[in-house]
Structure formats: structure tokens, C-alpha cells
């Protein structure tokens, strides 16, 4: 029973992630989707596309994609279905913690460094909301996420805390992990339509 609940939790989180990544809404993920998501984040954070932070985000997103496809794109067609994504994410990050450190942590670090506009090591609520808007997260879920992650109520989240929350979201099987709230209430009834996430 516990294993079933853990599987449901991690699969729901991966379904949400797939919904973020499928930028052209065609039901598959490709390299272009990954780069398009990075570009959306850069645009919503109003960062110059040629800045060091923007270039690092795009580089790290590309590295993440190469690592992920290396784990699960058996036919080398450069396309990933929702089912392949679920299995591949688990193999890439849960079953291989070193894989997260190699390929996904750099993407998380680059993302939150970009959100930290004034380089003070923290992300304010407004910056956090812009990140969520780029990912297609609703305003309500963005608010919920910030409240759940801002445990001391000071109105800021440290970059280190957010990197840790990112890791928990994508790797933790613990239903009480704080990082499960990174994108708000992912358990809401109507978020999954059977083929893709409705964000």
C-alpha cells in the first residue's frame, strides 16, 4: 500500500512536469520544448537573452535534456511520451541520485540564480510568481506554493532552499516533503485530463 501511494505521488509530480515541458502541447517532449521552456523563463524574468545567467540556463537545460534522453530514448527519435517520461524520470533521478547531481541540479541552480534578480541569494514572491507564470502555473497555485515553502514567513525564499525543494519535488517519495508543494496543489482533482496536465 505504501509503495502504491509513493508511486502515485511521484507519477503525479512527473505528470505535472511533463505538462510544463510540453510547450507546443502536442503530447510529446522534444529538445525544442526544453529550450522553449528555458526561453519562456528568461522572457518572463525580463532577463537579457545574452546575459551570463540566461546563457547558463539554456546550457543547463540542454544538458538536462541530453541526460534524460540518454536514459530513456531507446529508439533515438528525440521524442518522449508521457509514459516514457514517467519511467525515465524515475530512472534518471530517483533510482540514480548521482544523475540528479550531474544533470538536474545545475539546471535548478541556474533557474533559481536567474530568479534572484539582485544577486542577494534570495527569491522574492514577485520573482517566484514570474517563474511560475513561465511554467504555466496558476496564480492560486503559485500563491499556495510560496506560502508552503516560506516556512518562516519572511517573504523570501533562499536560492539554496529552492534548489533543495526542486530536488525533493523530482526525487522524493515522501508525501510530507516540503518540496512537493513547489508548484502548488498538484493533487487538485482536475489537473490531469488523462493525457496531459491542465495548467
CATH number for the domain whose boundaries are 2-181 = 1.10.238.10
Contacts for 3 with CB less than 8 Å, ≥ 6 apart = none
pLDDT at residue 1 tops 70: no
To the nearest 5 percent, what fractions of the chain are helix, strand and coil? Answer: 65, 5, 30
Q: How far apart are CA 39 and CA 194, in angstroms?
A: 28
pLDDT at residue 141 tops 50: yes
Mean pLDDT over 86-98 rounds to: 81
Q: In whole numbers, what is the pLDDT of the chain averaged over residues?
A: 87
Name the maximum alpha-carbon separation found in the chain: 50
The string of pLDDT tens digits covering residues 10-40 is 888 998 889 889 999 899 999 999 999 999 9
What's the predicted TM-score (pTM) here? Answer: 0.86
Mean pLDDT over 134-141 rounds to: 90
Amino acid at each position: 500500500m505504501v509503495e502504491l501511494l509513493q508511486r502515485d505521488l511521484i507519477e503525479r509530480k512527473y505528470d505535472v512536469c511533463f505538462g510544463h515541458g510540453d510547450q507546443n502541447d502536442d503530447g510529446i517532449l522534444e529538445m525544442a520544448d526544453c529550450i522553449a521552456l528555458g526561453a519562456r523563463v528568461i522572457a518572463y524574468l525580463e532577463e537579457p537573452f545574452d546575459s551570463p545567467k540566461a546563457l547558463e540556463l539554456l546550457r543547463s537545460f540542454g544538458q538536462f535534456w541530453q541526460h534524460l534522453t540518454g536514459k530513456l530514448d531507446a529508439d533515438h527519435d528525440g521524442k518522449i511520451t508521457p509514459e516514457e517520461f514517467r519511467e525515465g524520470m524515475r530512472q534518471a533521478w530517483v533510482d540514480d541520485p548521482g544523475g540528479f547531481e550531474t544533470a538536474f541540479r545545475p539546471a535548478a541552480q541556474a533557474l533559481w540564480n536567474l530568479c534572484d534578480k539582485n544577486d542577494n541569494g534570495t527569491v522574492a514572491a514577485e520573482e517566484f510568481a514570474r517563474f511560475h507564470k513561465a511554467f504555466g502555473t496558476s496564480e492560486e497555485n503559485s500563491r499556495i506554493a510560496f506560502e508552503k515553502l516560506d516556512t518562516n514567513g519572511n517573504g523570501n525564499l533562499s536560492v539554496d532552499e529552492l534548489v533543495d525543494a526542486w530536488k525533493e519535488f523530482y526525487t522524493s517519495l515522501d508525501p510530507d516533503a516540503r518540496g512537493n508543494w513547489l508548484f502548488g496543489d498538484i493533487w487538485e482533482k482536475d489537473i490531469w485530463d488523462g493525457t496531459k496536465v491542465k495548467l
